[in-house]
A and B are shown apart, each in its own frame.
Chain A
Amino acid sequence: MAPIYLGEFEYAVLLAVLHLHEDAYAVPVRELIEERTGRPVARGALYTGLDRLEAKGCLRSRMGDATEERGGKARRYFTVTAAGLKAIRATHESLSNMARGLESILGHR
Chain B
Amino acid sequence: MKVAERLLAIVVRHPDHRDSIVGDLREEHARQVRRLGAARARRWHLRQSAGIAMRYGMARLLRRKPPVRWITVATEDQGAQRWIGSRDLWYAWRSISQRPALASVVVFTLAVALAANSTTYSLMDAIVLRPYRFPGIERLLVVTTGDDHIVDRENVSPADFREWQQQSTTVASWAMSLWWDANLSGVDIPEQVAGFRVSPGYFKLLGVTPLLGREFSEAEAQQGEHRRVVLGHGLWTRRFSADPQIVGTMVRMDGEPFEVVGVAPAGFSIPDGAEAWAPLALTDAQWQDRRQSNYSAYARLKDGETIERARAELTAIIDTQRRDHPDTNTNRQARVLSFMEGMADPGAGPFMAISQAAAILLLLIACANIANLLMARGAERAAEYSLRLALGASRARLFTQTLLEGLLLSVMAIILSMPLLAIGLGLSRASIPASVMRFLPGWAFIAIDLQLFLMTALLGTAAMLLFSVVPAMQAIRTQVADSLRQSGRTLTAGRNRQWLRSTLATTQVALALALLFTSTLALTAADRTVNGVLGFDKKNVLVAQMVLPARTYENADKRRQFVADVTDALRGIPAISDIGMTSHIPAGFGGNSRQFWPEGVELTEAEARYVDYRRATPGYFGALRIPLMRGRWFDDSDRVDGTAVAVVSTAVARQYWGDQDPLGKRFKVAADGPWIEVIGVSGNVTHNWFVRRDETVYRPVTQEAPFTVAFAMRTVGDPTSLAGDVRRAVAVADPDQPIASLTTLETQVAERAAGFTFIANALGVVALIALVLSILGIYSLMAYLTTQRTQEIGVRMALGAGRWQVIRATIRRAFGITVAGTLVGAVLAFALGRAMQAMLFGLVATNLLQLAGIVLILATAALLAAYLPARRAARIDPMTALRET
Interface pair A74/B23, CB less than 8 Å apart: yes
The CA of A74 and the CA of B53, in the complex, are separated in Å by: 19
Least CB separation from B51: chain A residue: A44
The CA of A74 and the CA of B23, in the complex, are separated in Å by: 7
| Known contacts A27-B27, A27-B28, A75 near B20 by CB under 8 Å | yes
The CA of A48 and the CA of B12, in the complex, are separated in Å by: 10
The CA of A25 and the CA of B20, in the complex, are separated in Å by: 9
Is A102 part of the binding interface, using a Cβ–Cβ cutoff of 8 Å? no
The CA of A45 and the CA of B59, in the complex, are separated in Å by: 10
Select A44's contact among B16, B20, B30, B52, beta carbons within 8 Å. Answer: B52
Is B21 part of the binding interface, using a Cβ–Cβ cutoff of 8 Å? yes
Least CB separation from A50: chain B residue: B17
Give the shortest distance, in Å, between A46 (CB) and chain B (any CB): 9
Interface pair B51/A73, CB less than 8 Å apart: no
Interface pair A73/B20, CB less than 8 Å apart: yes
Give the shortest distance, in Å, between A49 (CB) and chain B (any CB): 9
Give the shortest distance, in Å, between A59 (CB) and chain B (any CB): 12
CB neighbors of B among A51-109 (8 A): 51, 63, 66, 69-71, 73-76
Chain B: interface secondary structure?
helix
The CA of A100 and the CA of B30, in the complex, are separated in Å by: 46
Give the shortest distance, in Å, between B58 (CB) and chain A (any CB): 8
| Known contacts A43-B51, A44-B56, A76 near B27 by CB under 8 Å | no
Interface pair A44/B55, CB less than 8 Å apart: yes
Is A1 part of the binding interface, using a Cβ–Cβ cutoff of 8 Å? no
- CB contacts (< 8 Å) of B55 on chain A: these are 42, 44-45, 47-48
The CA of A45 and the CA of B23, in the complex, are separated in Å by: 17
Is A6 part of the binding interface, using a Cβ–Cβ cutoff of 8 Å? no
CB neighbors of B among A11-44 (8 A): 25-27, 42-44
Is B36 part of the binding interface, using a Cβ–Cβ cutoff of 8 Å? no
The CA of A66 and the CA of B22, in the complex, are separated in Å by: 12
Give the shortest distance, in Å, between A1 (CB) and chain B (any CB): 22
Interface pair B20/A74, CB less than 8 Å apart: yes
Give the shortest distance, in Å, between A23 (CB) and chain B (any CB): 13
Interface pair A51/B17, CB less than 8 Å apart: yes
| Known contacts A47-B52, A47-B55, A26 near B21 by CB under 8 Å | yes
Least CB separation from B59: chain A residue: A48
Is B320 part of the binding interface, using a Cβ–Cβ cutoff of 8 Å? no
- CB contacts (< 8 Å) of A27 on chain B: these are 24, 27-28
The CA of A70 and the CA of B27, in the complex, are separated in Å by: 5
Task: Count residues of A near B (Cβ-Cβ below 8 Å).
Answer: 19
Q: Which of A27, A47, A51, A74 has the most CB of B within 10 A?
A: A47
Give the shortest distance, in Å, between B20 (CB) and chain A (any CB): 3
The CA of A66 and the CA of B16, in the complex, are separated in Å by: 12
Interface pair B53/A70, CB less than 8 Å apart: no
Interface pair A73/B30, CB less than 8 Å apart: no
Annotate B9-50 by CB proximity to A: 1 below 8 A, 0 otherwise. Answer: 000000011011111111110100000000000000000100
- CB contacts (< 8 Å) of B54 on chain A: these are 44
Least CB separation from A73: chain B residue: B23
Interface pair A76/B20, CB less than 8 Å apart: yes
Interface pair B53/A44, CB less than 8 Å apart: yes
Give the shortest distance, in Å, between B322 (CB) and chain A (any CB): 85
Give the shortest distance, in Å, between A64 (CB) and chain B (any CB): 9
The CA of A12 and the CA of B154, in the complex, are separated in Å by: 98
The CA of A26 and the CA of B27, in the complex, are separated in Å by: 11
- CB contacts (< 8 Å) of B53 on chain A: these are 44
Interface pair B16/A76, CB less than 8 Å apart: yes
The CA of A27 and the CA of B29, in the complex, are separated in Å by: 11
The CA of A76 and the CA of B27, in the complex, are separated in Å by: 13
Select B27's contact among A43, A44, A51, A69, beta carbons within 8 Å. Answer: A69
Least CB separation from B52: chain A residue: A44
Give the shortest distance, in Å, between B281 (CB) and chain A (any CB): 83
Least CB separation from A51: chain B residue: B17
Give the shortest distance, in Å, between A39 (CB) and chain B (any CB): 16
The CA of A63 and the CA of B25, in the complex, are separated in Å by: 16
The CA of A71 and the CA of B20, in the complex, are separated in Å by: 11
The CA of A73 and the CA of B53, in the complex, are separated in Å by: 18
Least CB separation from B16: chain A residue: A63
| Known contacts A26-B24, A70-B23, A76 near B48 by CB under 8 Å | no
The CA of A26 and the CA of B56, in the complex, are separated in Å by: 15
Select A70's contact among B17, B26, B51, B52, beta carbons within 8 Å. Answer: B26
- CB contacts (< 8 Å) of B52 on chain A: these are 43-44, 47
Least CB separation from B50: chain A residue: A44
Interface pair A48/B56, CB less than 8 Å apart: yes
Select A73's contact among B22, B48, B56, B59, beta carbons within 8 Å. Answer: B22
* B interface list, Cβ under 8 A from A: 16-17, 19-28, 30, 48, 51-56, 59
Q: List 5 other contacts, CB 8 Å, given A47-B17, A51-B17.
A: A25-B20, A27-B27, A63-B16, A70-B26, A71-B26
- What would 5 A/B residue contacts be, using CB atoms closer than 8 Å? A42-B51, A43-B25, A48-B56, A69-B26, A73-B26
8 A-B pairs with least C-beta separation = A44-B55, A73-B23, A76-B20, A70-B23, A44-B52, A73-B19, A71-B26, A44-B51
* A interface list, Cβ under 8 A from B: 25-27, 42-45, 47-48, 51, 63, 66, 69-71, 73-76
